[in-house]
Amino acid sequence: MRLTRPKVLGITFLVLGILLSLYSAARIDPAQRTTLGVGTLGTRDVPAQASLVLIGLITSLSGILALFDRLRRALAPTLVTVALLDMLALMIWAARGSSVDLVGMLAASLRMATPIALGSLAGIWCERSGVINIGIEGMMLAAAAFGFAVNLYLSQWLGPRAIWIGLLAAVLTGGLMAFFHAVLSIRFKTDQIISGTAINILAVGASGFLRRAYLVKAYFVGEILPIVNVPLLADIPILGAIFFQNRPIVYMMLILVVLTNFILFFTAWGLRTRAVGEHPLAADTVGIDVFKTRYVNVVIGGLMAGLAGGWFSLETVGSFEDLMTGGKGFIALAAMIFGNWTPYGAFMGALLFGFAEALEIKLQILDAPIPHQFLTMVPYFATMVVLAGLIGRTVPPAADGRPYEKQ
Amino acid sequence: MTAEAGKHRGIPWRKWVAAWSQRVSDLAIPFLAVFTALAIGAVVIWASGASVPKAYQGLFEGALGSPRGIAETLVIATPYTLAGLAVALGFRCGLFNIGAEGQFYLGALFAVWVGYSVKGLPIFVHLPLAILVGALGGALWGAIPGFLKARLGTHEVINTIMMNYIAVLMVDWLVNRKGPMWDSTSTVPRTPYILPTATLPQLVPPYRLHAGLLIAIAAVFVVYWLLWKTTLGFEIRAVGANPSAAKYAGMSVTRNFVLAMTFSGVLAGLAGAGEVLGLNRTLPAAFVSGYGFDSIAIALLAKSHPLFVPFAAILWAILRNGAGLMQIRAGISVDLISIVQALVIAFVAADEIIRWLYRIGKKEEIKEVVFTRGWGR
């Protein structure tokens, strides 16, 4: 039997499922119950041990399915469903003897996924046109700082409305940083990864300088963007609470995911962008301006990274801390690779990372017996595993990272 | 003498001048990059209403104005040199090791563990053992992304960034309150202190300057020797310059990727080991770092040449060490230095900006150091 990738995956599922069942049967008190809340629909008590054993069995069964070549077609949906079930198992385990609100968890995941998804969209815009952008982290950080600074100083005159101008400033800051990256990597043909690294360091220095020189003098906890309920849609049970009772940047992210996918795959501009990213010489031959396409795409990507930066200082906390983006820009890159350079895929990746983060916070609240650092590590491990092709091959744009020399 | 002979005589001379002016302008670029970055820094200082002469005077006096200042500058330059060498070695093999940070952490972690837990050894066994194990920790953290790159083609940049985070979280878990390496008698979360037998001795006793400096100096020459005097070094450079050509010549790209990343990890691990064995004597949970990015800058500034790395490291140390006095004298935040440093990196990496600014001709030769290639597929 050849050990193909689905088989490796199947064996992994099988072993994990058996381990889960055995562990739950041996170590969990049969009397413990977990209260699962489903938003406004009420709650339901489930016996923790029995549910975990059941989910473990389902997981191992799905693993066995993966071993049969004939069931290939049904494999991906099955494994995704089972993976979702395993996440449920994680919540049941973490919250045993206590309660967890599923809708709340999903809403929190979406919230946490927002900057990651926006960052990965920024990456997609850049890399689909052939420019690697490892400076997303720095663009976010600078945007968070400058957006907050503008909000801080304008709110003396404009009151709470200033926050929208702050958000605009954040977006533009991201665009400006991206323009710098574009000039370095397109005009001066600098190694794009080094140029991105320079942007990251510049952002740390500039935002720290800005904070200490101007922001700490005025003690100020800023406004944050308000929650906006979408009329009608917000009242849909479950979905309403997850998707339509959010703050503005979450909506913008959702719209931008759809919009990016549309532009990239259904418009002339998107076709040109992909052509430039895959084979710039061919694109040039048919009359596409490679440099212009790259400049525009990198800057658009930067604007999205800027919006992600705004999420930190203007939508979440209303202040700016040093290094407050905390590596989300790099996670965004990972989500982009996860999603194989497609907007919907990247969004799914971002949701996964967002879920891990929401779960980590929940575990800390519940004082679960595993160190929270381990859970924080999971996305990083997952990224390395996905990148190594253990789950599926990812294919970057062919000309990604290669400066274009006009012949 | 015929006109023809005169023409003949002229050619080598002109060639010589051209070669030297090329060499001088190549050497001038890092200096011009630093100068330009400091000039832009001056504009930032001026724009925020502080005195430029006061600030830069404070910067240089703080770093070099007293024996203590000089000793401190060298203390800072020690890990910078080692970590800078780590990145430079990676560059020579065409690898971008952004993971010096994580390798540094692992080196510190492993060294401090041997330092406090192994008891009853004399200093000439215990200290080398601690250093060696520290180097091993770094090697481990470097070898993994090297292996992943070589075998599965995954880009070392993403993998080393991920491993940096994992290293930081692992140290945080081990050392923080209730962690396995936490010293429960201490009020701040940290490991127990290392034994005196594992401590790197001070070189000039009142000052903190320690024997780690000697390790760093030795490492400079070892890396130079490795790269230019051994077959392995030749292979590493060949793979860095052109992996496919090296492969056709019968060299194993896989093996060289793994080895280069491992050596790179050893150097960064030594930097971490030196910090805990020579300075802190313990590993605090809030272990200040940032060596990952600084070491990249130093390697770039030194054009990835091991013999230039210490000079770049000293420059970086001057900027860092003098920043404190600069802040006191001119009331300008130390973060200004990060801006200056980022600009230096940008200018050195994009030397075309500097060539364009100062009208230096473009060199015709093929770039010797090839950095990175896309995501590595």
Q: pLDDT tens digits, chain B, 377 residues: what are they?
A: 444 444 445 566 677 777 777 777 777 888 888 899 999 999 988 988 888 888 899 998 989 988 999 999 999 999 999 999 999 999 999 888 888 999 999 999 999 999 999 888 888 899 999 999 999 999 999 999 999 888 877 778 788 888 998 998 899 889 887 888 888 888 888 888 999 888 888 888 888 899 999 999 999 999 999 999 999 999 999 988 888 888 888 888 889 999 999 999 999 999 999 999 998 888 888 766 678 778 888 898 888 899 999 999 999 999 889 988 988 888 888 888 888 888 887 788 777 778 878 877 665 444 444 444 455 43
Residue A100 pairs in a beta bridge with: A36
Taking residues A63-79, report their average pLDDT. Answer: 76
CB contact under 8 A, B162 and A381: yes
Point out the residue among A190, A204, A376 whose CB comes nearest to the CB of B169. A376
Put simply, whether B48 touches A (Cβ < 8 Å) is yes
Query: With an 8 Å Cβ cutoff, are B154 and A389 in contact?
Result: yes
- Phi, psi (deg, nearest 5) at residue A126: -65, -50
Residue B160: which residues within 8 A CB-CB, separation 6 or more?
B97, B98, B99, B102, B145
Which domains, from first to last, does chain B contain?
Answer: 51-331 (1.10.3470)
Tell me the mean pLDDT in the region A327-346.
87
Ranges A88-102, A111-125, B193-207, most confident: A111-125
CB atoms within 10 A of CB A69: 12
Nearest CA in chain A to B147: A388
Interface contact A377-B48, CB threshold 8 A = no
Fill in the DSSP letter of residue A405.
Answer: P
Give the CB-side neighbour count of residue A66, counting CA atoms within 13 A. 27
Highest CATH level, class, for A108-387:
mainly alpha
pLDDT top residue among B23 and A99: A99
pLDDT surpasses 80 at A280: yes
Percent of chain A with pLDDT over 90: 35
- Chain B residue closest to A384 (CA)? B159
A351 or A359, which is more confident: A351
pLDDT of residue B336: 84
Confirm or reject contact between B35 and chain A (CB < 8 A): no
At a CB cut-off of 8 Å and minimum separation 6, what does A338 contact?
A: A345, A346, A348, A349, A352, A383, A386, A394
Nearest residue to A188 (alpha-carbon basis) of B6, B186, B88, B346: B346
Kindly indicate the confidence band of residue A219, based on its pLDDT and cuts at 50, 70 and 90: low
Asked if pLDDT for residue A1 goes beyond 80, the answer is no
Q: In what order do the strands lie in the sheet with A43-47?
A: A43-47, A33-37, A99-101
Of B152, B336, B350, the CB nearest to A195: B350
Q: Which of A84, A85, A64 is nearest to A75 (CA)?
A: A64
Convert the pLDDT of each residue in A230-270 to its tens digit.
Answer: 888 888 878 888 888 889 999 999 999 999 999 999 999 99
Decide if A380 touches B, using CB distance below 8 A: yes
Cβ–Cβ of A374/B377 closer than 8 Å?
no
The pLDDT score that the predictor gives to residue B157 is: 78
Q: Hey, how many other C-beta atoms are within 10 angstroms of the C-beta on B366?
A: 8
Q: Domain locations in chain A?
A: 5-97, 108-387
Chain B residues whose CB is inside 8 A of the A198 CB are: 342, 345-346, 349
User: Which residue from A minimizes the CA distance to B350?
Assistant: A190
Question: What integer is the mean pLDDT of A1-9?
Answer: 68
Pick from A146, A209, A320, A325 the residue to mutate for testing the B interface (most B CBs within 10 Å): A209
Judged by CB atoms closer than 8 Å, whether chains meet at A193 and B44 is answered as no
Q: Which residue of A has its CA nearest to B336?
A: A209
Using an 8 Å Cβ cutoff, are B273 and B135 in contact?
yes
Q: State the maximum Cα–Cα separation within chain B, in Å, rounded to a whole number.
A: 91
Whether the per-residue pLDDT at A392 is higher than 70: the answer is: no
- Distance between CA atoms of A110 and A250, rounded to whole angstroms? 8
ipTM: 0.79
CB-CB under 8 Å, B377 with A381? no
Q: Are B278 and B211 in contact (CB under 8 A)?
A: yes
| Amino acid A407: pLDDT | 66
> Which residues sit opposite B284 in a β-bridge?
B190
Q: What is the pTM of this model?
A: 0.84
Q: Which of residues 346-365 of B touch A (CB under 8 A)?
A: 346, 349-350, 352-353
Q: Which has the minimum average pLDDT: A82-96, A197-211, B168-182?
A: A82-96
B159/A384 CB distance under 8 A: yes
Question: Closest Cα of chain A to B109: distance in Å?
Answer: 17
A330 touches chain B (CB under 8 A): yes
Q: Considering only residues A183 and A63, tell me which one the structure prediction assigns the higher pLDDT.
A: A183
- Residue A84 scores a pLDDT above 90: no
Q: What SS3 class is residue B210?
A: strand
Cβ proximity of A238 and A106 under 8 Å: no
Is residue B42 less than 8 Å (CB to CB) from chain A?
no
In sequence order, the 6+-apart residues with CB closer than 8 A to the CB of B92 are: B227, B236, B237, B240, B260, B304, B369
The overall longest dimension of chain A from CA atoms, in Å, is 74
Task: Return the CA Rg of chain B.
Answer: 23
Supply the mean pLDDT for chain A. Answer: 86
Please compute the mean of the pLDDT values over residues A266-280 and round it to a whole number: 94
Res. A122: pLDDT tops 90: yes
- Among chain B residues, the shortest Cα distance to A396 is held by B375
How far is A19 from chain B, CA to nearest CA, in Å? 24
Tell if the CB–CB gap between A400 and B349 is shorter than 8 Å.
no
Residues on chain B touching A380 (C-beta within 8 angstroms): 162-163, 165-166, 169
A188: helix, strand or coil: coil
pLDDT at B42: 92
- Please answer whether residues B280 and B95 qualify as being in contact, where contact means their C-beta atoms are separated by less than 8 angstroms: no
The residue behind tokens 């935002």 is A207
Instruction: Read off the pLDDT band of A146 (50, 70, 90).
Output: very high
